[in-house]
């Protein structure tokens, strides 16, 4: 899959459209989901042009992967979710219903989330 530079998260990364930013470092940007599914629903995206987890896991450098994973953990911790718990979710491809073709991890928490894929 070829990366689409016009996707909405690429535009957020370029500052062309706003987001409610919660964290940024050289590897990741985190912001609130525009349509939250839980009291806390944050999206964390890598800075590089990766379409999905499949692309990121295969193509990103070790530094990019480490930096991104550490950012996800830090954002969840800073959101106060370490003790109550949270769910990480990343969609890839049609069966997952991935809507935005820039790799992103959802962090959801702030209430009991029920069983996975309920
Ligand atoms: P996906 O289904 O691709 O895993 O999730 C895409 C997520 O991006 C959805 O939860 C959706 O609400 C969120 N989203 C879509 N467009 C925007 C936007 O312009 N700003 C923000 N903050 N979130 C968005």
**Is 104 annotated in the active site?**
yes
Q: What is the pTM of this model?
A: 0.98
Nearest-atom index, ligand 1, CA of 104: 4
The rounded distance, in Å, linking the Cα atoms of 62 and 30 is 20
Tell me if 14 CB under 6 Å of ligand 1: no
35-93 pLDDT tens trace: 999 999 999 999 999 999 999 999 999 999 999 999 999 999 999 999 999 999 999 99
Q: Residue 18 C-alpha to ligand 1 middle, in angstroms?
A: 13
- Domain topology for 8-81+101-109: HIT family, subunit A (3.30.428)
The rounded distance, in Å, linking the Cα atoms of 13 and 45 is 9
7-45 pLDDT tens trace: 999 999 999 999 999 999 999 999 999 999 999 999 999
Segment holding 108, helix H or strand E: strand 105-109
Nearest-atom index, ligand 1, CA of 100: 3
Which residue owns the Cα nearest ligand 1 atom 19?
Answer: 8
Nearest-atom index, ligand 1, CA of 99: 3
CA-atom Rg of the chain in angstroms: 14
Is the Cβ–Cβ distance between 14 and 59 less than 8 Å? Answer: no
């Amino acid at each position: 899959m070829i990366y689409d530079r016009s996707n909405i998260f690429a535009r957020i990364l370029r500052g062309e459209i706003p987001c409610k930013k919660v964290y940024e470092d050289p590897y990741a940007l985190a912001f609130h989901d525009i349509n939250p599914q839980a009291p806390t629903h944050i999206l964390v995206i890598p800075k590089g042009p990766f379409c999905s987890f499949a692309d990121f896991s295969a193509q990103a450098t070790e530094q990019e992967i480490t930096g991104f994973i550490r950012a996800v953990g830090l954002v969840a911790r800073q959101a106060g979710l370490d003790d109550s718990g949270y769910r990480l979710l990343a969609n890839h491809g049609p069966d997952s219903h991935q809507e935005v073709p820039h790799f992103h991890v959802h962090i959801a928490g702030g209430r009991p989330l029920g069983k996975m894929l309920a």
